[in-house]
Amino acid sequence: MTRAYQPLAWDDSLIQRYNLSGPRYTSYPTAPQFHSDFNLRHWREAIAQGNRTLKPLSLYVHIPFCSTICYYCGCNKVVTANRQRAIPYLAALKREISLQATYVDSARKVQQLHFGGGTPTYLDDQQIADLMAHLRAEFSFDESEKSDFSLEIHPQSVTPERLAHLRALGFNRLSLGVQDFDPQVQKAVNRFNTYEEVAGLIQASRQLGFGSLNLDLIYGLPKQSCESFAQTLNAIVDLRPDRISLFNYAHMPHLFKSQKQIDARDLPEPQEKLQILHNSIERLQNAGYVYIGMDHFALPNDELAEAQRSGTLHRNFQGYTTHGDCDLFAFGASSISAIHDVYVQNHKTIEAYQNSLENNLAIHKGFHLSADDLLRRRVINQIICQFELKFAEIEKEFDISFASYFATELAALKPMQQDGLLEMDSDGIRASNIGRLLIRSICMVFDAHLQQPGADAAPRYSRII
């Protein structure tokens, strides 16, 4: 049995000690390190590097609109019932897609596509069709079985007929934002979808030939209890989605205005919130789900689980992925691209995004990774995806002596080793079954930007658990 298939351990005292604020490591370095004086020459050179090797592509399209507000949401979104607001945004989006595509060799294939938001299905069927047609006109799509074209949907806004339309456009994966089935919780966060709606969509999606189905859940929401969330989880297990994302609700109303609508007195107490997570992990593992890491569970035959077994799992701005060999081009307000050794982020507001595209690209900030950043990114990605690190592999790839280069970090891991979070010897590092749950704490030791004088993770990041 591989480590990923072993049950997670639970230790309240260790969780309390290591449940700090820290990055989720969808990138390294993380977004707070991006700066506005980024040199676009590095961006063009990174694309040229991919063109020389015909590296495959992953595309992300950000649709920021929602028709109603979910109080818990921390996403970059615009809540409006005025559907006309999407029209100029879509025009800007198409312009950006065309501008970026001019730099990309047309022989490079799109193997992954994801529509996120906001609520991508805020757009009507024709708007989504037009956008897909534009993407296909500007990029060459890989239509083989290894392609992964997905989008996020709000179950209440989608019918089986709409699913058929999306499938005809080429989408083959879906992510449904469920969060919780309990009526009291739904009212407290202003997010509504019934079990029957979700079950109907899952049945229809399977009949239409969609591949992996992901359901998003959130623990720690107002009015939740161990008993109420257990009922939601039992219903989810009965539906048997291929993947389940179980996210921690981070109550940060000072950062996200919509969260001010939540009465903090309704939030579960910290100990009950931890118990909800503990119970949920046990329930999912008993139901046959594999803990992929960082809130994600998958059935053993799902591609994520298979990639973890084979050592090819990767993590980027879209979370865990099987397409780690792709350059990620992102379009839309606030979206972030990851191309070879650069990250670039677009302007965050719709107005700034649209205005910038009148004359140039919409890039607002970026980061050019140094040799040290590339090395640490590889180390962190390996730990967070595989729960282990083999020193010899890193030494061969980067021509270093791991023990010498990371002497300070290895010394900092000693207390974690003594606490039982990991095993460490001359060959490498292996997270224990409690360490897998606290994997972000282990990764943070290798984060040079967090270790800089004056660096403070607390204001920028949520807690690990």
Spatial distance between the Cα atoms of 30 and 376, rounded to a whole number of angstroms: 12
389: Cβ contacts below 8 Å, ≥ 6 apart: 379, 382, 383, 428, 429, 430
CA contacts within 13 A on the Cβ side of 143: 6
Q: What's the confidence (pLDDT) of residue 1?
A: 45
- Tens of pLDDT, residues 286-336: 999 999 998 999 999 999 999 999 999 999 988 899 988 899 999 999 999
Q: How far is CA 243 from CA 162, 305, 424, in A?
A: 22, 10, 31
Phi-psi group of 127: left, alpha or beta (phi > 0 → left; psi -120 to 50 → alpha; rest → beta): alpha
Amino acid at 351: E
Query: pLDDT > 70: what percent of the chain?
Result: 97
User: What residues in the chain have per-residue pLDDT under 50?
Assistant: 1, 458
Whether the CB-CB separation of 73 and 108 falls below 8 Å is answered with no
User: What is the pLDDT at residue 38?
Assistant: 92
pLDDT score at 74: 86
Q: Are 330 and 337 in contact (CB under 8 A)?
A: yes
Domains along the chain with CATH numbers? 1-29+371-465 (1.10.10.920), 34-329 (3.80.30.20)
Q: Which residues touch 178 (CB under 8 Å, ≥6 apart)?
A: 155, 193, 198, 215, 216, 217, 232, 236
pLDDT at 454: 54
Q: How far is Cα of residue 411 from the mean position of the Cα atoms in its chain?
A: 31
Structural contact between residues 281 and 91, judged by C-beta atoms closer than 8 angstroms:
no
Angstrom CA distances, 278 to 15, 180, 320, 434, stand at 11, 17, 22, 12
Predicted pLDDT at 282: 96
pTM: 0.94
